[in-house]
Amino acid sequence: MAEEKKNWVQATRDYINELKLEMRRVTWPNRKQVESTTAVVIFSVFAFAAYFFVVDSILQRGERAIFSFFSK
């Protein structure tokens, strides 16, 4: 039991040390890059929302036309 605990503790320490080493290698974006990618994401969200609104409207009109045709 004590050896299992040592192995678990050592494995956790190894993981944390490797995590710290990997985080030092990360290249973080600067403020300008973050702002530009944020703008792209916001624009994309609104563009997709508009696209899905148009598609939904077209499908809704088609569905209403089909139901009204068959309900007569």
Confidence of residue 72 (pLDDT cuts 50, 70, 90): confident
Contact indicator for 10, 17 with CB cutoff of 8 Å = no
Q: Please give the pLDDT value at position 32.
A: 97
Query: Residue 52 corresponds to which tokens in the numbers above?
Result: 């899905």
Mean pLDDT of 12-38: 95
52/67 Cα distance (integer angstroms): 22
Domain residues for 56? 2-70
Residue 3 has pLDDT above 90, yes or no: no
Number of domains forming the structure of the chain: 1
pLDDT digits (tens, 9 = 90+) for 26-53: 999 999 999 999 999 999 999 999 999 9
Q: Please give the pLDDT value at position 56.
A: 98
Specify the length of the chain in residues: 72
Q: How many CA atoms lie within 13 A of 65 on its CB side?
A: 6
